[in-house]
Chains A and B, each alone.
Chain A
């Protein structure tokens, strides 16, 4: 079945460091891909998405590019802030309505001053 694999955390970085969180997927077709973020005590929020190959999603300084050849959707940010500390989930959806999401296990990011 369809699945998402992300790197285990926690990822610990100093402020202003470069961030990469790896995400790869397995799917029978061409899914839409998402990154969600969960801040402490809050629900998951959509961070960015890409719906076709070579699309780049971006938001709040984060970006991820849909790579069909490597079945990947790695999340990057050039300079992290303490406020970026959260859990990040990679997810895919196989239908155009984005109704059924398949999630990865989440990666906790800890950014220290």
Chain B
């Protein structure tokens, strides 16, 4: 149990376009979902935390208007990278939890390459 999926697993897009990444909790209801970014040989950096039905809370230095997060249901959160540029190329990972004190369950990640 407690499986989290991400779609797509990889995506290549042109500079200036927008890309949407989906994160789904397949067998549980996720009150809270998290989005992380990972650069090569670096740790996962938390970008934002979202609670179902509420606006996401972004970490310092993360542009809200560039990384749009929607958590419209208890099983789905989306991250949209708007007007993507090559520096946005990265590995994006989501996680989901049932609530405070619960373990975070991670998705397998999405590799974004912006040309």
Contact = CB atoms under 8 A, between A and B. Distances in A.
Interface of A: 4, 36, 38, 41-46, 89, 96-106
A84 B3 CA distance: 20
A98 B104 contact: yes
Nearest to A5: B43
B46 A98 contact: no
Interface stretch (B14-22, B72-80, B95-103): B95-103
Contacts of B107: 43
Contact of A43 (B4, B43, B45, B103): B4
B49 interface: yes
B32 interface: yes
Interface of B: 4, 32, 41-46, 49, 93, 95, 97, 99-109
A86 B44 CA distance: 16
A101 B46 contact: yes
B102 A98 contact: yes
A99 B93 CA distance: 15
Contacts of A38: 106
26 contacts: A4-B43, A38-B106, A42-B108, A43-B4, A43-B105, A43-B106, A43-B108, A43-B109, A44-B95, A89-B43, A89-B44, A97-B99, A97-B100, A97-B101, A98-B97, A98-B100, A98-B102, A99-B97, A99-B100, A100-B49, A102-B43, A102-B46, A103-B44, A104-B43, A105-B42, A106-B43
Given A43-B108, A46-B104, A99-B49, 14 more contacts: A4-B43, A41-B108, A43-B93, A43-B106, A44-B44, A89-B43, A89-B44, A96-B101, A97-B99, A99-B32, A99-B97, A103-B44, A103-B45, A104-B43
